[in-house]
Structure 1
Amino acid sequence: MRAQHGAGGEAGSEVARPGGGWRGRLEAALTDAWYHGHPALLPLWPLGLLWATLAAARRAAHANGLLHSTRLPLPVIVVGNLTVGGTGKTPLTIWLAEQLRARGYRIGIVSRGHGGRATEWPQIVRPDSDPDQVGDEAVLIARRTGCPMAVGPDRVAAAEALIEWAQPDLLLSDDGLQHYALARDLEIVVVDGVRRFGNRRCLPAGPLRESESRLATVDLVICNGGSPRRGEFGMQLLPRALVPVLGGQERPPTSLAGERVHCVTGIGHPERFFATLRGLGARVIAHAFPDHHRFRREDLDFGDDAPVVMTEKDAVKCERFADRRHWYLAVEASPSLLFTQRLDALLKELNHGQETPRNPRLPGDQGPAHPR
């Protein structure tokens, strides 16, 4: 299939102002109930059990061949999570792309394109693609990595289009853990080390997409923040620079110390971003919008000249109306050395003991098909 090409109340805080209308308030209330408890969730517990059962049955059907999974002629590494909302998958995907390319791989990346409104899929993503068409995370990944990328609801179709266009020799599937139609060779799960799994129930009674027992079946579990538990590897998200949305001179993140700033997010776990800015000493006025929110100029108009700081993902959607007050905080993933060493060992297994990739299209040169 040929792809379409996309076109170019706490210390250090003031009172939070919720954004995104009723959807934003509902999302915040539901997330708070999942992670802090609420009796209103009790009637949803049977639905959570049904979700968990159906999710497990669907995965088993793919593993047993009752539902088809397409195996591509190149290794596939999936990065995902068990919970809805942000855990740090995108920064880890960017880190993986950079590390794997440094090891000699030609990397291709596929993703869903969450928030994209293209009428035809899959879409090839370029650094200048329109986030309204292909999604904000996709544009961010394409810009940060420089790797060929395709998005679409059908991951297999996106991957096949990407292979035709760019001929990668290793594929990264961002947020692809539950997309079992695409067979995979390695699975990496990112866990929020602070929030963990909330009430440990599946949707809609809790935040889980699959039951927590799924962790025992994946290759690598990486814990973003907090304290890694047994079998997990640690990772931190490190602030790198404060960058003008319109471009220009960067500032060190510590320059926010003592400054009153509007902190704007349209991400799955906004409190992590707010906490990061508070940790840098900023006096944060928090504005949380729903994940993948389509920002408008008026969303960033707070009636004063205080700086507005957002995530890099949100910045790609605000460039067209940004001004000198608007900045984004660039962060980078920093996994533990043990994670890197284990990843290298698994990659060596995929390459039949070689340190560098072999051409997966040559006969007899494909790695084993791991059941998922």
Structure 2
Amino acid sequence: MGSSFLSRVKSALSEKLVRAWYRPELSPSLYPFVPLAALVKREADKRFQAFRSNPPWKPPVPVIVVGNVTAGGTGKTPMVAALVKRLRNEGYRPGVISRGYGSGNNGQSQLVGQGCDPLICGDEPVMLAELTQAPVVVDTDRQRAVKYLLENTDCNLVISDDGLQHYRLHRDLEIALVDGIRGLGNDYCLPAGPLRESGERLLSVDLVVSNGVLQRELPVESVLMELKPAGVIAVDGSSRKFPDNPPGQVHGVAGIGNPERFFLTLEQQGFAVQRHSFVDHHAFQSEDLSSLGEGIVIMTGKDAIKCRSFARKNWWYLAVEAQLPEPFWAKVLDRLGNL
């Protein structure tokens, strides 16, 4: 039984579970998980209160945490890239830390270089290093990652890609992202719902950002973030230009937390999309996409990082950039200026 087939089975099961999580009401199929969800919520609340009463080590530079309270993709990586770009323009020297999900990290801090193998460094850290040209450090222990970053670079500001629930990490500014369409789902914690901790946690963060127009009510006001397409780029790293008159039908490939958002974006660009979704952080191999033939394939930037070494000439990825309103940046800069 091939790995591609197993991946598609896992993806189908994952999509079924996620659909149940994001219904407005608790699905009957999730009733057996409610006691576990209550335990998860209680433990998350205890950890947060322990963090508040016994703060961790405070680094000598500001730390911004970009995270979420739900499982799955909410646009954290584009947000981190936007923060690096804007704060660099404001005179800061930002560096990034990441857990490096899916990496072969062996419990030690590792500085991610451009072209680093995503199986070793993780897909998102490699993508961020290439997008931002900023130093990126991977470590499951984010406090250790901060120390390593400060010892080995000239950074004077740290941005954590994810880590809202990593309470060994001090933070001066918390930014929580929420998917505008899916919101907080059924408001239950894992495994009965998508929440990593109670939705009330959003009341204590500095800024809540909605990825796309908010269609579900939240317990707090949010800022709108829009992910704008920034070009269709060859997966193999060449400078080839995307065809001026491509066929309307394309294969959309996504191994991210919310693949449907990506497919809808492609459709908004005028493509008729044949959907191919994989589990988040899927370690792509050539056989996963061998059945797609000579038709045009468009994937996410995160997936392209893992497919570059065996990419075909008809494989492309859609680059996106996060756009945020000036009042958001004013709040971020004001907070940093007051530290």
Interval of TM-score (by shorter of Structure 1 and Structure 2): over 0.9
Structure 2 residue matching 1:79: 3-state secondary structure:
strand
Structure 1 position 304, deviation (Å): 2.9
- Equivalent position of 1:91 in the other structure: 78
1:237 and 2:227 equivalent? Answer: yes
Q: 1:158 to 1:255 in 2, by over 3 A?
A: farther
Gaps of 5+ in 1: 1-16, 351-372
- Does residue 30 (structure 1) correspond to residue 20 (structure 2)? The answer is no
Match of 1:20, SS state, is helix
User: Could you say which residue in structure 2 is the equivalent of 1:71?
Assistant: 58
The reply on whether 1:249 has 2:236 as its aligned counterpart is no
Q: Distance in 2 between matches of 1:185 and 1:337?
A: 20
Which residue pairs with 1:53 in the alignment? 42
* Counterpart-to-counterpart distance in 1, 2:107 and 2:52: 30
Opposite residue 231 of structure 1, the aligned amino acid is E
Once residues 178 and 289 of structure 2 are traced to their aligned partners in structure 1, the CA distance between those partners, rounded to angstroms, is 31
2:306 maps to amino acid: K
Provide the C-alpha distance between the structure 1 equivalents of 2:105 and 2:168, rounded to a whole number of angstroms.
22
RMSD: 1.8
Q: 1:155-234 alignment to 2 at 5 Å?
A: 155-227=142-214, 231-234=221-224
Is the CA contact (8 Å cut-off) linking 2:62 and 2:336 kept in structure 1? no
Q: Which residue of 2 aligns with 1:111?
A: 98
- Report the CA distance between 1:19 and its aligned residue: 7.4
Summarize the Cα distance change of 1:216–1:18 in structure 2 as closer, same or farther, 3 Å threshold.
farther
Structure 1 Cα separation of the partners of residues 171 and 106 of structure 2:
28
Native 8 Å contact 2:107 2:140 kept in 1 = no
Matched, 1:279 2:292: no
- Structure 1 ranges of 4+ moved more than 4 A: none
Q: Distance in 2 between matches of 1:22 and 1:117?
A: 24
How many angstroms does 1:69 deviate by?
1.5
How far has the Cα of 1:167 moved from its partner?
2.7
| Residue 322 of structure 1: how far off its partner (Å) | 0.2
- Correspondence 1:299 to 2:288: yes
- SS of equivalent residue, structure 2 residue 224: strand
Distance in 2 (CA, whole Å) between partners of 1:255 and 1:117 is: 41
Percent identity between matched residues is 44
Question: Match for 1:54: what amino acid?
Answer: E
Residues 19 and 289 in structure 1, CA contact (< 8 A), matched pair in contact too: no
What's the CA shift for 1:245? 0.8
Instruction: Give the corresponding residue for 1:338.
Output: 327
CA offset digits 1:224-282 (Å, max 9, x no partner): 10238662111100001000111223449x965x5111111110000000000111111
Q: CA deviation at 1:153?
A: 0.7
Cα-to-partner distance string for 1:98-157 (whole Å, 9 max, x where unaligned)? 100111111111010001013352111111111000100000000001111101111011
Distance 2:118 2:104 in 1: 9
Partner residue, 1:367: none
Letter in 2 for 1:149: V
AA aligned to 1:248 is: S
Give the C-alpha shift of residue 43 in structure 1.
1.2
- Find the residue that maps to 1:206 and give its secondary structure: coil
Counterpart CA distance in 1 for 2:206 and 2:6 is: 38
More deviation, 114-123/292-301: 114-123
Distance in 2 (CA, whole Å) between partners of 1:51 and 1:304 is 45
Q: Which residue of 2 aligns with 1:363?
A: none
2:28 to 39, 42, 53: 39
Distance 1:162 1:183 in 2: 15
- Once residues 272 and 133 of structure 1 are traced to their aligned partners in structure 2, the CA distance between those partners, rounded to angstroms, is 27
Note closer, same or farther for the CA distance 1:306–1:62 as it changes in structure 2 (3 Å cut).
Answer: same
1:345-360 paired onto structure 2 within 5 Å: 345-350=334-339
Which letter maps to 1:266? G
Residues 183 and 214 of structure 2 are in contact (CA less than 8 Å); yes or no, is this contact kept in structure 1? Answer: no
SS in structure 2 opposite 1:319? Answer: helix
Query: CA separation in 2, counterparts of 1:303 and 1:92?
Result: 32
Q: Distance in 1 between the 2:241 and 2:105 partners?
A: 33
Counterpart of 1:361 in structure 2 is none
Q: 1:259 aligns with which of 240, 248, 254?
A: 248
Equivalent residue number for residue 259 of structure 2:
270
Give the total of aligned pairs.
330
Structure 1 SS opposite 2:43: helix
Asked if 2 retains the 8 angstrom alpha-carbon contact of 1:19 and 1:288, the reply is no
Q: Give the residue type in structure 2 aligned to 1:240.
A: A
Runs of 5+ unmatched residues, structure 2: none
TM alignment of 1:115-154, pairs within 5 A: 115-154=102-141
